[in-house]
Every structure is written in C-alpha cells, then in structure tokens.
Amino acid sequence: MPARLKRADEIWHLGDVCEPEILEEFAQLGPPLHVVRGNCDGYEGWPESLELIRGGLRFLLTHIPPAEVPAGISAVLHGHTHVPRDEMIGGVRWLNPGCITRPRGVEPTFAWLTVARGKLTSWELVRVSGEA
C-alpha cells in the first residue's frame, strides 16, 4: 500500500483516524494529506467536512454522509459505515472507500480515485488483506 500511495497526487482521509500516528506515516509518503474528523476522533483541528475542486469537479469530503448535499457537488466521499459504496443519487456520486482497520463484513479496502478531463474516470477499490 505505501508504495502505491507515494504515486498519489493527494491522500484524502475520511475520518476515524483513531490513531493519529498513522497520519505521520501518510505525511511522510509525500503527497498532500487532507483529513476530515470522524465521530471517533478527539482532535478538533480537523474540519467536519471539506470541499475540494479537482479537475473541474467539486468533491465533498466528510465522515458521516450528509442528508443534503450542497449545490454543485459532483461527488460525496464519506466514511462512517466502514463499507465500500459507489452509487449515483440525484446526479451526485456517493463514494466510500471502506475501511482498512475495522471493515464491517467485507475485506479491508481503500480506494484509488482518478479524475481526468473534468470527469471522475475511475474509482478502484484496493483490497489490503493481510496488511491491516
């Protein structure tokens, strides 16, 4: 996993860090790291949600999936359920990479998102069995 993450343009952590030292490992990989606070995180320095524009698309990063999505959002990336998700609802893509350390009923996963030419071109779930 670390070798692949070094090739990322950015790393997005969707909350429930729980063990902040893991963020030190991510930070040492090189790509910029963006973190939102999860319901199990005690650190108040991370935002509850974060909007990022990448490749002309607006992403909402949050831990708990919102009841309403702000106008203009192309994709909501969330954690909380610990279960992978890829759905299109009301013109918005809802994505959850799953969980590496405490998955629920599925294998440990993270996701690799690719944006090109103003489109979300791929969302790949990456299994990390044996590494968690």
φ/ψ bin of 29: left (φ > 0), alpha (ψ from -120 to 50), beta (otherwise): alpha
Under the banding of pLDDT at 50, 70 and 90, the label for residue 130 is low
* Number of Cβ within a 10 Å radius of residue 89: 9
Structure tokens at 79: 């954690």
Q: What is the pTM of this model?
A: 0.91
In the predicted model, what is the mean pLDDT of residues 71-88?
A: 96
Report the distance separating Cα 89 and Cα 81, nearest Å. Answer: 17
Structural domains in the chain, sorted by start = 2-127 (3.60.21.10)
pLDDT score at 101: 82
pLDDT tens by residue, 9-67: 999 999 999 888 889 988 899 999 999 999 999 889 999 999 999 999 999 999 999 99
Under the banding of pLDDT at 50, 70 and 90, the label for residue 1 is low
Beta carbons within 8 Å of 45's beta carbon, 6+ residues apart: none
Under the banding of pLDDT at 50, 70 and 90, the label for residue 128 is confident
